[in-house]
């Protein structure tokens, strides 16, 4: 049986209004031209990064040796070296995606870089680092990633008010998502009052998906009842669909209409953590079951490849599914799943994981700087 090579699920996904982004970045991806190939061949129109991605990139190959050797020669601190290396990669990716940015009128073609996750509970230092990253990368198609912790909400509004585009990350609950959208609208209102060009100001809200199922499924397995088993793998998609319903409500009022008339773009929902953690599940489910116009789906390359190979795009799989999503959440509550506790645990774990990755990045970079300095002195 010959495969239909004309079938292109990622093109179909794009046609449905979903922006396809890549959740990965490395100097190898840039230098080899693979990122450009993903743009032209896999319909990728944006890139997201995080400390885990950078730690992995620096651990592979020797693409960073030359720059790190120069930094070691200059006696640069580990933190300075990390800023130099990561902002160089992100700047280069911004340049690769610049044509997409122009073609989409500043909607896509964006690249995200995250503030130090250790600052998640300190709004003032988050703002200061966001400004520094914005200045260092110096590209209009940059996103500064700020975590959606309660403490960081003022940082979101402040950065937007200064004309800094923001990717709000680590969102798990609909309640927190509403607070994020409020912070966004406030920031855009303040940007307008300050005279900033709203047509280039942008934001996405990264709503995490697969981790919700991982935590809920663990609790369902402990319950062990037939009803609990039946609910495995359903929480994350229901939660995300209800998040989109909240998005529609938030951007339907007069407050947003006034900003839209001034050229502002809505803060698009971005589905993050879309790689399937449980091998028993369809490896494309967090993509094909979350399709609707006006969203972003950022995928690790393995998920991107899976969708390209065998993803089945069935049209809009969010609008029209709100009642079934509510029914799923009700059934979870009836089974004994406390979703408020689930999302609290997930936020704490997510911040801790990114802090761990950041510390690993610090340690590996420090070791590499010391290795190169020692080699040059011999």
Sign of CA dihedral 204, 179, 355, 84: positive
- Of 296, 301, 306, the residue nearest 45 (C-alpha): 296
- Angstrom distance (rounded) from CA 32 to CA 63: 11
Check: CB of residue 299 under 8 Å from CB of residue 20. yes
Burial (CB < 10 A; 0-12, 13-18, 19+), residue 134, is buried
- Of 181, 287, 301, the residue nearest 236 (C-alpha): 287
Structure tokens at 168: 């709000």
Cβ neighbour number for residue 120 with a 10 Å cutoff: 25
Cβ neighbour number for residue 131 with a 10 Å cutoff: 15
- Of 151, 169, 149, 152, the residue nearest 49 (C-alpha): 169
Active site residue 145: yes
Please tell me which residue in 60, 145, 234, 374 is annotated as part of the active site: 145
Enclosing H/E stretch for 166: strand 166-171
The residues annotated as belonging to the active site are: 145
């Amino acid at each position: 049986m010959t495969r239909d090579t004309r079938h292109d699920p990622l093109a179909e996904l794009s046609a449905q209004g979903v922006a396809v982004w890549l959740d990965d970045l490395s100097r190898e991806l840039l230098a080899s031209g693979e990122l450009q190939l993903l743009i032209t061949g896999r319909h990728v129109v944006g890139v997201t990064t995080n400390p885990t991605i950078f730690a992995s990139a620096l651990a592979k190959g020797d693409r960073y040796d030359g720059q790190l050797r120069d930094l070691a020669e200059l006696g640069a601190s580990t933190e300075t070296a990390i800023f130099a290396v990561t902002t160089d990669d992100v700047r280069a990716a911004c340049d690769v995606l610049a044509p997409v940015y122009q073609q989409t009128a500043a909607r896509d073609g964006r690249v995200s870089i995250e503030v130090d996750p250790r600052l998640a509970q300190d709004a003032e230092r988050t703002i200061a680092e966001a400004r520094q990253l914005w200045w260092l990368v110096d590209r209009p198609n940059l996103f500064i990633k700020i975590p959606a912790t309660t403490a960081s909400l003022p940082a979101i509004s402040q950065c937007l008010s200064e004309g800094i585009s923001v990717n709000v990350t680590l969102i798990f609950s609909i309640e927190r998502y509403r607070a994020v959208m409020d912070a966004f609208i406030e920031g855009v209102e303040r940007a307008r009052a300050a005279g900033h060009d709203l047509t280039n100001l942008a934001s996405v809200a990264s709503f995490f998906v697969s981790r919700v199922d991982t935590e809920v499924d663990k609790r369902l397995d402990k319950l062990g009842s037939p009803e609990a088993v039946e609910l495995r793998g359903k929480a994350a998609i229901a939660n995300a669909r209800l998040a989109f319903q909240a998005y529609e409500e938030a951007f339907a009022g007069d407050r947003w209409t006034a900003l839209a008339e001034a050229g502002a773009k809505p803060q698009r929902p971005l589905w993050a953590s879309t790689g399937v953690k449980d091998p028993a599940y369809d490896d494309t489910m967090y993509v094909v079951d979350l399709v609707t116009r006006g969203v972003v789906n950022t995928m690790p390359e393995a998920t991107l490849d899976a969708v390209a190979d065998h993803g089945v795009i069935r049209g809009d799989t969010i609008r029209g599914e709100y009642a079934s999503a509510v029914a799923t959440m009700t059934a979870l509550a009836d089974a004994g799943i406390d979703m408020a506790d689930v999302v609290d645990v997930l936020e704490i774990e997510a911040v801790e994981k990114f802090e761990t990755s950041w510390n690993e990045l610090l340690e590996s970079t420090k070791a590499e700087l010391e290795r190169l300095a020692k080699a040059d002195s011999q």
